[in-house]
């Protein structure tokens, strides 16, 4: 299994541009999550999904959108990039059983100038 | 959402045991205590989790207080590779399994 994969690894955006961060998992996990991590800080939950077609907001959803059309994919959309969105973005997945754990992707480092 | 409190940083000597504390005084009866660690420039990785009883695995041990309001991650012999940020989080099992990460404890290991 490849686990959780994220693309791209790095990206530089100009203010106002849009982009989609891709996340794919091959473990047939129902639950998927997007986090952001600012320098020297912990992870903040942006959005999460409990299955295809179902998404919900986390702690810091403003400025982002998500969709979940398949079990495998959970893309994160930035519509109008702002410098405050400069961060490292991590995608994660889990089965949804209470004792299971999250598996994280390698992250996407985004800079907005 | 129940939150956790951890020291910002701790230091250890190589080959010595490390006890990383976590307070979670508002934990609910069904919350699992999970520990993750994040090595430099990587995503977090699972370390250990438990509900009420102490737990051991190949990476670490987890000691949970009887009232479940605190827990301690124990690394039996710290190595330089254990230098990382350690997160203690509570898993919300009531829907979505949302997990709220705090700032964690940055562990420094001296050779």
Q: Using an 8 Å Cβ cutoff, are B48 and B62 in contact?
A: yes
Supply the mean pLDDT for chain B.
Answer: 90
**Residue whose C-alpha is closest to residue A88's, from A67, A71, A104, A66:** A104
Interval A61-77 mean pLDDT: 97
- Picking from A31, A42, A50, the nearest residue to B104 by CB comes out as A42
Tell whether A46 lies on the interface with B, counting CB pairs under 8 A.
Answer: no
Q: Report the residue of B28, B89, B99 to disrupt the A interface, i.e. the one with the largest count of A CBs within 10 Å.
A: B99
CB atoms under 10 Å from CB of A68, counted, come to 20
pLDDT in tens, A4-36: 999 999 999 999 999 999 999 999 999 999 999
Q: Using an 8 Å Cβ cutoff, are A63 and A82 in contact?
A: yes
Which tokens hold the place of B69? 């309001």
- Picking from B44, B103, B104, the nearest residue to A104 by CB comes out as B44
More confident residue, B66 or A95: B66
Tell whether B97 lies on the interface with A, counting CB pairs under 8 A.
Answer: yes
For residue A98, the model assigns a pLDDT of 61
pLDDT in tens, B14-23: 999 999 999 9
- Cα separation, B18 vs A59, in Å, equals 32
- Picking from A43, A98, A107, the nearest residue to B101 by CB comes out as A43
């Amino acid at each position: 299994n490849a686990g959780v994969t994220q693309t791209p690894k790095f990206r530089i955006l100009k203010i106002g541009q849009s982009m989609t961060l891709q996340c794919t998992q091959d473990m047939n996990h129902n639950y998927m999550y997007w986090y952001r991590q600012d320098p020297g800080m912990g992870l903040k939950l942006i959005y999460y999904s409990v299955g295809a077609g179902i998404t919900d907001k986390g702690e810091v959803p403003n400025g982002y959108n998500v969709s979940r059309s398949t079990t495998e994919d959970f893309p994160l959309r930035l519509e109008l990039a702002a410098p405050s969105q400069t961060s490292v973005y991590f995608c994660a997945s889990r089965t949804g059983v209470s004792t299971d754990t999250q598996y994280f992707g390698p992250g996407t480092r985004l800079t907005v100038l | 959402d129940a939150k956790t409190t951890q020291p910002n940083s701790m230091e250890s000597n190589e080959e010595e045991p490390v006890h990383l504390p976590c307070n979670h005084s508002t934990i609910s009866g069904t919350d699992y205590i999970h520990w993750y660690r994040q090595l430099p420039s990587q995503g977090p990785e699972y370390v250990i989790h438990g509900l009420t009883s102490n737990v051991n695995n190949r990476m670490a041990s987890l000691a949970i207080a009887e009232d479940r309001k605190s827990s301690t991650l124990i690394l039996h012999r710290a190595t330089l590779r254990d230098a990382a940020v350690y997160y203690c989080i509570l898993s919300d099992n009531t829907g979505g399994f949302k997990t709220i990460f705090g700032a964690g404890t940055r562990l420094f290991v001296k050779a």
